Amino acid sequence: MTKLPNDDQLLAHYRRNLTDKQIAAMYGCTVQAVNLRLNRLGIERKPHSNTATALLEQAWPTAVYRRSRFTHFSRARRLWVFIRRNLGDPALSARQLHESLAFEHHIREHYVVLDLDLTQSNPWVFRPRLHLDEDLVIRWPEDRPKPSLRELEALRLPAAPWE
């Protein structure tokens, strides 16, 4: 296996918008090796995905709620892509964009919020919207501090096009 280039050269490839796969092919190494080196250099690879995950972690920390055990449920995935869309993630696929819009439509149409209830078989539960929910798409846990107003924007329903 060939060794990756020095940091400056690797960053030059990254800045030329080469993918990890393309860089790995150039040097005969694994994609994971390229990804690891770029991460060590402080390159934030998926800022929108990371921010969406961090917001969910603030609401329902994995250590307490075991949220990561339930991320495969469609409601959790749709919430995650909804947050990414609100953050302006250009990497959303057409399918993810569709899921995000379907999630938003359901929230508006049924006047509900999404909550995590570990007593249910599918712990992602839609609950009737309350005044305390404001315009968030989730019911923020009462025992958790809310994130900054800027971070909360990603969890808010965007203004409807007809408003």
Residue 162 lies in a domain: no
Q: Same domain, yes or no, for 101 and 129?
A: yes
Residue 163 lies in a domain: no
Tens-digit pLDDT profile for residues 97-114: 999 999 999 999 999 999
Q: Same domain, yes or no, for 65 and 14?
A: no
Q: Report the number of distinct structural domains present in the chain.
A: 2
Tens-digit pLDDT profile for residues 110-129: 999 999 999 988 899 999 99
Print the domain residue range for 96.
Answer: 47-155
What DSSP designation does 28 have? T
Q: Same domain, yes or no, for 56 and 31?
A: no
Residue 124 lies in a domain: yes
- Please state the pTM of the whole predicted model: 0.74
Q: Same domain, yes or no, for 95 and 148?
A: yes
Tens-digit pLDDT profile for residues 7-47: 999 989 888 878 888 899 999 999 889 888 988 888 877 77
Residue 19 lies in a domain: yes
Query: 3-class SS at 112?
Result: strand
- Give dist(CA 121, CA 116) in Å, integer: 11
Residue 104 lies in a domain: yes
Tokens of 69: 């055990």
